[in-house]
Structure 1
């Protein structure tokens, strides 16, 4: 007789099975598929290894692995995808869906996160375009956001314009600071500085700063004009210029009353204010010193070059002889250029002072002739300020001013003649042309878009001034004719026909078209060398400025959206300055559409509503949405809600939900983003529901019956993970950790647990997630999914089943029926689809129509009872908890049982181990009885058999029934077989359990519980009979006389 093997206490480790069975399926009838073991899917393993040995070996990396071992980590969650990084990763760009603002969603074009290739690391504040080129989203973007946040909601409607102007000025200052930094990099370059790119960036910052200055000026002028028009419309008086107090007022006073409504002076003042500083030009003392010296010594230098013989300013033209030395160069080029550039900057007095400083008073006198007559005493300005009795006089500010040219039209006629003189220098001729309101000889010195625009607008301004003066004098003449007895009116001056001038009467549209053509011609004429053609081409910011001047902002939006769509679809390469232009356009939309009070709104750009729902986003809204997506891609999380607030509600929900879906942060950070969105007025509940929906659509969640999934928000479809037949499905071990993708899905529930108003959705979506996970055999996901829910997730009101049939037509049914028809999402296992923009239909408890088809329309009776549905959801939740607790108890029993193993392998008990063995037996008895009670209660409770489809439509109820039937078929045989094995393995410590293990077959055959249906569907009846047969044989060995009778 062989010596008894001493019983040794086994350590709880890889060799101790934690699943139901400890041996391969072919070794014993008891080796039926359990937690993680299936005969059809189990590869051949090295002899002598148990299931846990297989799993442990695969984890230790012995060179082979069972299929279930690598499944947990097979799918790694990729980093958040953006419209930029996605296009760089994709093999080919996918066209954007209609109505998405030309900007594909962060997950558009991606089948599922699991299928996406590993993305290279992209740091914050950087986006990647379709070609893989990174673009920095620098500190200037943050500065823009701070300016916007600082002025947001701080002004009353009556004070809104002042805050709008302050906002524009703040953005202009940001651009000036960025311009200074770019110029510093150009002046002090390092080895990594791209000079061409930096020069282009500096130009872009300068033009954007100028544009914000233009926006502020135009808004102030246009809002003031609208106010005057409304005031005139409210009164009986016509909006006509007031007549001057008498016909002898100066031209300055006449123009003040008639030119304040024109926008031409505003544009001229802007162009002049934005002109760059002129290059330094020395101011030379003394009048023509070289010529004077040459004339004094003419007799001593016979045969020298002929020079002027006289010293007056007109001598060179009159005699046709040059000046001596560099006098001609200084007068015709340096001084003339300085005068012209001073005029270009709107600083006539600076030009006059320069002429006087270099001893050219005659040139100063010429420039003084361009100033129109002003007489504050005749005009009434001084008397008005001083009062009737002369009180309030201030010698410094209220002095009587009399000056200017009373014959200004004659001066302009002479200036035009001087501009046509070919013997003058080009800057002299340009100066005279500008002063005369002509463009013919001024265009020759234009070197930029702004120069061309200024020359033409200055000519237009002179034409408007002349027209206004003619109209004023004509009004005086009409008054004189109407009152011939009045001496004053009879003496009214008339416009002189003798000095009539041709006027530049081009419209703003024609002016800007001519400027664009001139710039194009200049660019074609300049050789394409570094700094050549590129410097003189029309910049996109010039196009924006032209649209603002013409008040064609809608066209500007549309053109930019077309360009944006081409860039995002990969048809056009993204320029380095495109993100900057997108930022500018988005903030321009905010200023013109959202900041102005309604009565002053110049451009709305909002999509109109139709009887069939909202139209696709208007261009302005698509620009805002694209910019918000850019912030998402650059991970500027704190600013996304700031800009999402300006979108329509459906777009807010859609965009912020996509943003939240890709936020990989701790729960505190996640909930902080929700708080930020709430502060900015976003509707958090539908956003959270939509974020969970998008998460489930983007991930390969297993479908309940293997059918397709609902269409995703971007228009594509996400296929559900195909399910193998029940008999081939491998049930994972409870000890398996969730894969990164599973963890990604479970963490999505955190969005629904941030507020009690979405607890109902959290319960419904957790049920959905567990149902799909269990259907795929992922039993290890139940515990973390349930753990993600708050303790008080279940409302006591959901515990009571409504008994009154009228509850099916709850108050929310009538009010939400129309919304539900448009908002209901198709079930993931059906082919239906719904736009994800609405974020789900909100009901009384705050729950929404979700991707898990929890709330849908019934084909016959409309919306079903929410109370019944939530009661069914609570029952389903309790059923999953019951399963988890039973299987956890089973795992605990296995861990304890395998410390010593089956009785056949224990051997004799030595003296040293007797006490430990006795303690082990005592604990085994307690755990066996507890586990037996839980498994028996689960098997006889009608698990998932009750009507858990209440509140669903007939179609979705059928799908749900198939899902629940699959779970019963998959897990009830496992529960019963586990119960039978526990009873059989503990027959030595609890002898009555052997008899109970044989009677398990009666439990399965009972019509009361109908467990045999699950065994037949799962093809597990043979395993049950084999296990019971082994128990019967053991019973026969122990009680050969009565075994068959008791069986």
Structure 2
């Protein structure tokens, strides 16, 4: 390479270059050594000048760089925008023009170029954070996978358009962010997969529903402004549904295995094991065969591996949340910047840095020589290791190996493959045509694991590289420091436990057959883990993020599901529903309700009472949140004695007629006892704010109907829908009318009476005949019909008296008066009015006599009611209701004396004095025993009225009893 001497002319050229760069939009940020330049199409100048373009900060210490989180990745050449490339070409052209202008023709500035593999941009996108910006990682909490989060592409116009559309959708339909349709989806899925053999298909459907809604929310979240409260709500909902979906996945894998294990177990299992050992004596068994048999036999290790697989799957799902970005170009090799520096040094060019660096490039060189790589290679190395560990954490070992091969480190990919168990299939049979088959696995696996242990203990490796190999050799001490969440801890512990169980089993059964055996260090065996110890250790760890995770409901549920302790889990959920009901998210409550239903369906729980309480809490939420179409489904899952109570509570809040019919239809479809439910609904509403059954006969009539009264009246509709419940409707209406009559609310009592269809008696008789095939009614129904007729007679009598009273006092025509000194015209008009008055008076008297007759008949109908009297049961052979009997007796005392006074008023005012006097005989009759309903003061009042009638008779020339006087 031809060296350049910096003459004043060339310094002037560099000055002009700076001016053009500024004009083109480039920013001269800081000076840095040229070897750090990664901008595409830049030139290599072997001169001790400073770079005009942005370079990385080399002032950071190696320790600081080692623990840097994986921020925004370095953009490679393929990611450079077209505008930047055009600007780069423009700068090159400007350089050529300047070169010709300053009089250096023939000199090629591009004689020395950076190798093609090094043409990569070093520009790192800077994350702008403001007080209004909410980072997703802050809301979700830290995790190993979140280290790989990268900025999304900045498509501003499309983002603004999507944001506007989504925000409008959220404002118009708030159920989108609340995912309220999940409640309906879960109910429909539960109903469609209610059989025992479909239980795991049901769990899979639950998981799918959570995933579908999660994906929908993610799309909305991408177009939502992070600073808005809606964005926080979306993030929280996504997190909750992700956790729920993961738990359903765990349940499906673990409990399916547990149920299959229980079905395979037999009482002679030990005998079978002994027979199997005898059969296998002298037979070749590879490590792979032994472990396969071990996994099939031992449920603990098998289910622990299922937990590991599940934890890796959830980490893989989280890893897929982020946009994929290529961190390494296709044509690059391993440690390319270090190689480039060594080549320059070998050619005698000036060194890029005074810092010591490795001078060999074998994989062990940095550790052996104790010297670092080039800064950029070192950063790439850290990024590579973090990505490899993230792939291992998410169960994608093949991708980790592919990444190693892609970046030119195939040797590192080979180090990840030594864990495979050795198996030689030729011991059993040869391949096709008698060919020897290729063995699989690592025959020196124990040596490889011991080496991994030493690498994980090597302090000169970064923490992620130590943890990477610690995951393969069971070194928990080196694995935990980089775990950030409770799931990371759980994965590390379970992976180490399964590794210990595997090695322990191999040592007990295979140690003498191994060609090579290297025992693990004593630290490996110091603490043998169990599932219970794992959770105790995690609970006692000092990591604040882990402790925060352990406080969540889903973390506790996850723990007990892994432990297989459904009873303690149900106890915890019961405590949450009783103590933290207000803090529970609706979807968490829905999840717990379906979880206890799952436990009930597979028969693994003995806490049925507590499970019912969890279901009650969910039913209560559905009622309060107006999920009217779902209540029947879940009430039907409660015990029989609780179904009536809860659905009756639900129906109490339904007032619309069409909605009432719909709810009753859903109840019938769910198999609920609708007659008992509707009866209880009416009784509950009727008993609201009910005072003691008492009344005052002297109290004035209350013609007002309050809102509470109207609710009680409308409740009768629940019993009218079904003709088979007409008898019950009659009984409840009678009970409500008794209360209104006792409170002197005749208008409300009439409204209750009108709720009963006129054909109810016929409907009751027909229903009774169809059920009992006899003409005779049940005693209770017979007495209810009579009471209903008693109420009808009393209400008709009162209505008739009101009509009579209105006609007598307000409809009587007024007699015209002739003014004094009236003129002839006025006298003619008066005579006309007088004749009209006489006609109106005659008509009034006629109508009065007719109304009087009707009123008297209706009053007598009550006082002389047949079959034992008014409000007296006709049949005594039925079930005795002491409360009802007491109320009916009290009503006789409250109503009958008043009716006698009304009858006396009608007869006295219409001058039917003789019939007034005969009232005394009616009251004193032993047949009707009306005198028993009178108080002493009421009897005195009746006698006083009769005395007034007798005086009127004497004034009319008759004796006191209404008979003609005998001279």
The answer, yes or no, to whether TM exceeds 0.5 is yes
Alignment of 1:101-500 (within 5 A): 139-154=178-193, 157=196, 159-174=197-212, 176-177=214-215, 180=218, 183-184=221-222, 187-189=224-226, 191-193=228-230, 195=232, 199-229=235-265, 247-248=283-284, 250-260=286-296, 261=299, 262-275=302-315, 276-277=318-319, 280=325, 282-284=327-329, 285-298=332-345, 299-301=348-350, 304-331=354-381, 333-374=382-423, 402-473=439-510, 493=514, 496=517, 498=519
Is 1:623 the counterpart of 2:596? The answer is no
Per-residue CA deviation, residues 796-842 of structure 1 (Å, 9 max, x unaligned), is 998999xxxxxxxxxxxxxxxxxxxxxxxxxxxxxxxxxxxxxxxxx
**Secondary structure of 2:528's aligned partner:** coil
Aligned ranges 1:587-666 → 2 under 5 Å: 587-594=594-601, 596=602, 601-606=603-608, 618-666=609-657
Alignment partner, residue 560 of structure 1: 573
Distance 1:291 1:256, change over 3 A: same
Q: Note if 1:886 corresponds to 2:853.
A: no
Q: CA-atom RMSD, angstroms?
A: 3.9
- The question of 1:765 aligning with 2:732 is answered yes
Q: How far apart are the structure 1 equivalents of 2:574 and 2:772?
A: 40
**CA deviation map 1:562-604 (0-9, x unaligned):** 2322235xxxxx33x533322211111112213x3xxxx3235
| SS in structure 1 of the partner of residue 477 of structure 2 | coil
2:811 matched to which residue of 1? 900
Residues 1:950 and 2:876 are matched in the alignment: yes
**C-alpha spacing 1:246/1:339, structure 2 compared with 1 (3 Å):** farther
CA distance in 1, matches of 2:492, 2:406: 27
- SS at 1:559's partner residue? helix
1:1010 counterpart = 2:929 = yes
Find the counterpart in structure 2 of residue 677 from structure 1: 667
Relative to 1, partners in 2 of residues 1:234 and 1:255: Cα closer, same or farther, differing over 3 Å?
closer
In structure 2, the partner of 1:743 is: 710
Listed one character per residue, the Cα deviations across residues 603-629 of structure 1 (whole Å, up to 9, x for unaligned) are 3532xxxxxxxxxxx211100011001
Gaps of 5+ in 1: 1-134, 391-398, 478-491, 527-532, 569-573, 607-617, 705-722, 802-843, 847-864, 988-992
From the superposition, tell whether residues 441 and 642 of structure 1 become closer, same or farther in structure 2 (CA, over 3 Å): same
For 1:918 and 1:964, locate their aligned partners in 2 and report how far apart those are by CA, in whole Å.
43
Task: Out of 761-770 and 288-297, give the one that drifted further.
Answer: 761-770
Q: Contact 1:179 / 1:206 at 8 angstroms: preserved in 2?
A: no
1:117 corresponds to: none
Q: Distance in 2 between matches of 1:591 and 1:917?
A: 84
How far apart are residue 893 of structure 1 and its match?
A: 3.0
Query: Larger % of helix: which?
Result: 2
Alignment match, 1:60: none
Aligned pair in 2 of structure 1 residues 217, 781: CA closer, same or farther (>3 Å)? same
Structure 2, unaligned runs of 5 or more: 1-173, 819-830
Please say if residues 726 and 764 of structure 2, whose CA atoms lie closer than 8 Å, have aligned partners that are also in contact: no
Which residue number corresponds to residue 148 of structure 2?
none
Find the counterpart in structure 1 of residue 689 from structure 2. Answer: 700
Separation (CA, whole Å) in 2 of partners of 1:535 and 1:430 = 23
Contact 1:172 1:212 in 2 (8 A): no
Instruction: Decide whether the 8 Å contact of 1:169 with 1:216 is kept in 2.
Output: no
How far off its partner does 1:152 sit?
A: 2.4
2:701 corresponds to: 731
Label 1:413 to 1:239 Cα distance change in 2 as closer, same or farther (>3 A): same
Q: CA deviation at 1:536?
A: 5.3
Quote how far apart the aligned CAs of 1:700 are: 2.3
SS in structure 2 of the partner of residue 690 of structure 1:
helix
Aligned: 1:539 with 2:552: yes
Contact 1:175 1:208 in 2 (8 A): no
Tell me the TM-score normalized by structure 2: 0.71
Q: Choose from 506, 519, 522 the match for 2:543.
A: 522
Shift of 1:962: 4.1
Tell me the equivalent position of 2:40.
none
State the 1:882 CA deviation: 1.6
- CA positional deviation for 1:1007: 4.2
Q: Within 5 Å, give how 1:14-93 maps onto structure 2.
A: none
In the superposition, relative to structure 1, how do residues 351 and 683 fare at CA in structure 2: closer, same or farther (>3 Å)?
Answer: same
Structure 2 residue aligned with 1:982 = 906
What SS does structure 1 have at the residue aligned with 2:328? coil
Between the aligned partners of 2:194 and 2:277, the Cα distance in structure 1 is 33
> Considering only CA atoms, is the larger Rg found in Structure 1 or Structure 2?
2
Structure 2 SS opposite 1:440: helix
Q: How many Å separate the matches in 2 of 1:536 and 1:182?
A: 26
Measure the CA separation in 2 of the matches of 1:505 and 1:970: 85
C-alpha distance in 2 between matches for 1:162 and 1:536: 28
Deviation at 1:459, TM superposition (A): 1.0
How many Å separate the matches in 1 of 2:180 and 2:266? Answer: 38
Secondary structure in structure 2 of the residue aligned to 1:636: coil
Judge conservation of contact 1:241–1:257 (CA < 8 Å) in 2: no
Give the 3 Å change call, closer, same or farther, for CA 647–1045 of structure 1 in structure 2. closer
Q: Are 2:587 and 1:580 aligned?
A: yes
The change in CA–CA distance for 1:800 and 1:162 in structure 2 (over 3 A counts) is closer
Query: How is 1:788-867 mapped onto 2 (pairs within 5 angstroms)?
Result: 788-794=755-761, 867=778
Aligned to 2:783: 872
Distance, in Å, in 2 between the alignment partners of 1:799 and 1:674 is 23
In 2: Cα distance, 1:944 partner to 1:175 partner: 66
8 Å contact from structure 1 (residues 439, 456) kept in 2: yes
Taking the aligned partners of 1:239 and 1:1038, their CA distance within structure 2 comes to 125
Which structure exhibits the higher relative contact order, with contacts defined as CA atoms closer than 8 Å and separated by 6 or more residues? 1
Give CA-to-partner distance per residue, 1:334-375, whole Å, 9 cap, x none: 000011000001011100000011111111111122333355
Q: Name 1:858's counterpart in structure 2.
A: none
Q: Matched residue of 1:254: which SS?
A: helix
Are the aligned partners of 2:304 and 2:498 in contact in 1 as well (CA < 8 Å)? yes
Q: Alpha carbons of 1:441 and 1:936: their partners in 2 closer, same or farther (altered >3 Å)? A: same
Change (3 A) 1:178 1:564: farther
Q: What is the CA distance between 1:778 and its match in structure 2?
A: 2.0
User: 1:305: Cα distance to partner?
Assistant: 2.3
Match of 1:786 in 2: 753
User: What's 2:860 paired with?
Assistant: 936
Assess if the C-alpha contact under 8 Å between 2:951 and 2:960 holds in 1. no
What is the CA-CA distance between 1:511 and the residue it aligns to? 0.8
Q: Residues of 2 paired with 1:239 and 1:634: CA distance?
A: 61
CA apart distance, 1:403: 3.6
Name which of structure 1's ranges 620-629 and 970-979 shifts more when overlaid on structure 2.
Answer: 970-979
Deviation at 1:1033? 4.8
The answer to whether the Cα contact below 8 Å between 2:816 and 2:837 also exists between their aligned partners in 1 is no
- CA drift at 1:642: 0.8
CA distance in 1 between counterparts of 2:275 and 2:447 reads 32
Q: Distance in 2 between matches of 1:552 and 1:204?
A: 23
